[in-house]
Amino acid sequence: MGDNHGSRKAAAPTPAQVADAVAFRPGDLLADRDTRDTSTAPGDREATEAATSALVEELAQLQEALYAEGVGGGHRSVLLLLQGMDTSGKDGTVRRVVGAMNPAGVRIVSFKKPTPEELQHDFLWRIDKQLPQAGEVVVFNRSQYEDVLVVRVHNLVPEAEWSTRYDTINEFERRVVDTGVHLVKVMLHISKAEQKQRLAERLEDPTKHWKYNVGDLKERAFWDDYQAAYQDALTRCSTTSAPWYVVPGDRKWYRDWVVANLLVDALRDMAPRYPAADFDVAEQRRAVAALE
Ligand code: AMP
Ligand code: MG
């Protein structure tokens, strides 16, 4: 302590270390996760935002390589799945962490209350249709997990039906991962007090009224039921091939830092490669030099 006083900065953790710190393992309790935690931040808010910017830039480069790899015949892709209570920051995370990537290779899919057509099919039907193509980065804003969250909380189908869905989801995800999709499942974890704060803020700003949903107050009354449903989904569907991450969400700048790390960790791990030219580069160089 004494001699280092004020002079030494802790080294920033690696993306793999950040991922490890927020991984949810079967046996973990959601209630033990501090929504205000900032323990992997490389510094104060300002320093963390700067570090996040650097990661987001790296992400854009990695994503371009993944996209190129797909064009060149590669089959790999990334699926970032976002879940969280209302106002937990799913849209903000997309804007700030995914926003710098090349839109040509990125697709954002929001899952709402199922349409009559969707309800005529198995709950995974609409999900399956939106899985990433080769080289794509797809973000799911809500997902198949709604079918064991809102559906369970409001008994939209009988328990006998939703209770089998955890295993169905695990099998589905294993198949998805086996086809080359790197799946990153994130729960943005906010406190009930923070939700109140965000709802109040939306009312204070006329440019945020469009985001305010009167129905969110009704859902808030089921807070504890949702937490229990999340606990079960996290416990039963955190698998080796598709683990869950619980990201502290009360501080937006920390949330962005963590999610950026999760994506950088995934993409560094994949190490996407630009495809080699499928033509004779030297010959083409000569041909271009000879152009009028
Ligand atoms: P938002 O994400 O704020 O646009 O809200 C979408 C709403 O659709 C949320 O209230 C979700 O709970 C709801 N929703 C999404 N998927 C389902 C589903 N499978 N069954 C019922 N409600 C759903
Ligand atoms: Mg909403």
pLDDT per residue as tens digits for the range 64-77? 999 999 999 999 99
CA-90 nearest atom, ligand 1:
2
Using a 6 Å cutoff on CB, does residue 81 contact ligand 1? no
Quick: pLDDT tens for 235-247: 999 999 999 999 9
Domain that holds residue 111: 5-289
Asked if 162 and 183 touch (Cβ cutoff 8 Å), the reply is: no
Q: Whose CA is nearest to atom 14 of ligand 1?
A: 113
Q: What percent of the chain has pLDDT over 70?
A: 97
Query: Rounded CA gap, 175 and 144, in Å?
Result: 14
CATH code of the domain in which 18 resides: 3.40.50.300
Q: What is the pLDDT of residue 96?
A: 97
Q: Is the CB of 154 under 6 A from ligand 1?
A: no
Q: Is 136 helix (H, G, I), strand (E, B) or coil?
A: coil
Which ligand is nearest the CA of 143, by number?
A: 1
Mean pLDDT across the chain, nearest whole number? 96
- Distance of alpha carbon 237 from alpha carbon 244, whole angstroms: 8
Q: What is the pLDDT of residues 191-232, one digit of tens each?
A: 999 999 999 999 999 999 999 999 999 999 999 999 999 999
What's the pLDDT band for 9 if we cut at 50, 70, 90? Answer: low
pTM of the model: 0.95
112 lines ligand 1 (CB under 6 A): yes
Q: For the chain, how many structural domains are there in total?
A: 1
What is the 91 CA–ligand 2 centroid distance (Å)?
Answer: 10
> Which bound ligand lies closest to the C-alpha atom of 198?
2
Structure tokens at 80: 């970032």
Atom of ligand 1 nearest to the CA of 216: 10
The atom number, within ligand 1, closest to the CA of 141 reads 2
* Ligand 1 close to Cβ of residue 114 (< 6 A): yes
226 CB within 6 A, ligand 1: no
Residue 7 pLDDT exceeds 50: no
- Ligand 1 centroid to residue 155 C-alpha, Å: 14
Cα–ligand 2 centroid distance for 200 (angstroms): 14
User: Do residues 80 and 267 make contact, with C-beta atoms less than 8 angstroms apart?
Assistant: no
Instruction: Decide whether any atom of ligand 1 lies within 6 Å of the 151 Cβ.
Output: yes
250 burial type by CB count under 10 A (0-12 exposed, 13-18 middle, 19+ buried): buried
Q: How many CB atoms lie within 10 A of CB 218?
A: 9
Which residue's CA is the closest to the ligand 1 atom numbered 21? 113
